[in-house]
Amino acid sequence: MSFVSRDFALFYTVVFILYYGFPSVKVQNLLVVVASYVFYGWWDWRFLPLLVIISVVNYATAIWIGATKRPRRKRFLLIAALSVSLAALAVFKYFDFFSNSFAIALRSLGLPVDLPVLHLILPLGISFMTFQGMAYVIDVWRGHHPAETDLLRFLAFKAFFPQLIAGPIERADHLLVQFGQERSLTPDKVMQALWLLVYGYTLKIVVADGLAPIVDSVFVANQPFGWSVILGTLGFGLQIYADFYGYSLIAKGLALLLGFELIWNFRFPYWATSPSDFWQRWHISLSRWLRDYLYIPLGGNRGGRLKTVRNLYATMLLGGLWHGASWNFVFWGFIHGTALAATRYLPECQFSRVRTAFGWTFTMIVVFSAWFFFRASSYELILGMLSAFRDMEWVPVHTSIAFALCAATGPLFIIEWIQQRSGDFVLLRYPAWVRYPALSCLCFLALVMGREYQASFIYFQF
């Protein structure tokens, strides 16, 4: 059940009516759990037991961790809970990848072997639900958050359908606590949610889905022109941003209509002036997760330059692998790790405008170069497209592609420029004669473009 479907519109309408028909927090939480399981089971009901088992394991072990006083036993319970979550992730997402990679390595050494592969279907959102559960258990173990004893509240937090499939990866001290509070719907919240939903759907339908066929047509192994590769890579970088940012805004708007606040998962990442600045703006919930539960425990920037570089590489390589069981994602992480390590020790320019201009240019080159490897999913495709740089002729099709890129992303850049200057992300500071025409224009664009090519949300595969 995609957010961009009539089935979801009907589903959410029913949930919304029932939700506010029962003012009891406990009944509303029960409705959230039932609705979330229906939403997740709509894709494939066979994976519902996986979601329930991981949730119950996280819930029970966190209570045991909170109840025991012995550090060794706490650590054992933590390892047990993390092992269950990581085992599910390893089997469904990474077993075939490592099995195939190991077999290829052995064959290259002259040892022909056929290792078993499972060919399992990847459960939707398994990386997101796994990381959110792990963060909760670790926070309880660290003493940052008390163990939740209300099973209904915890199940609602773990399966909350607006952010279940593609995040943001929420923390217990932000989202879980909201399931114990009274929820209300105010005119301001309705206006904020309306903007988030309209803008989110516009980004998905107009920008991301408008760019998808262009990108798909360019990313082919027999691509003859280098300029097509460059324009296609720019298109994909804009497509994945509009697609994922659009999803995050829709999720935030849907949650807000039910009385919940989700974190902002994006803060204008393509305005970043350094690789580290980019990662403070892009997929913020994942960036913070990698920082708090991987980079800092590894030692962070403590222990000298070499250890810091090692920790950066380890964090970004695992961050790349989190996105998918493929070496192109690992290389994507390697590029970002290299950029983070390099810029950490570069001397700073004394002229602020020059520093800003150079920093932005360098960051965008790194980011979009990495997007090429993120999108090119096979070794053959990468080599085929890179060979196209032997011909850098500008042909009429490149003018058409460039024009299409500008037309599809125009609304995105105009609105982000306004938001950056005003600091108003939901247009509430603007008068009604500005807000309503803007919303109407975006609605019109989404309705017109909604009849055309539609692609699934990119991050659903992670």
Alpha carbons 462 and 459: distance in angstroms, whole number: 5
Catalytic hit among 119, 323, 336, 398: 323
Alpha carbons 248 and 243: distance in angstroms, whole number: 9
Q: Which long-range contacts (CB under 8 A, 24 or more apart) does 184-189 make?
A: 184/259, 185/20, 185/257, 185/259, 188/428, 189/256, 189/257, 189/259
Tokens read off for 302 = 């403590």
Q: Is 119 a catalytic residue?
A: no
Instruction: For residue 264, report the phi and psi dihedrals to the nearest 5 degrees.
Output: -75, 120
DSSP run (H or E) holding 358: helix 352-375
Alpha carbons 387 and 383: distance in angstroms, whole number: 6
Instruction: Please give the angle made by the CA atoms of 366, 368 and 369, to the nearest 5 degrees.
Output: 65
Alpha carbons 116 and 100: distance in angstroms, whole number: 8
Residue indicated by tokens 């903007």? 195
The answer to whether the beta carbons of residues 293 and 134 sit under 8 Å apart is yes
Alpha carbons 90 and 118: distance in angstroms, whole number: 12
Tokens read off for 42 = 């709509």
Active-site positions read 323
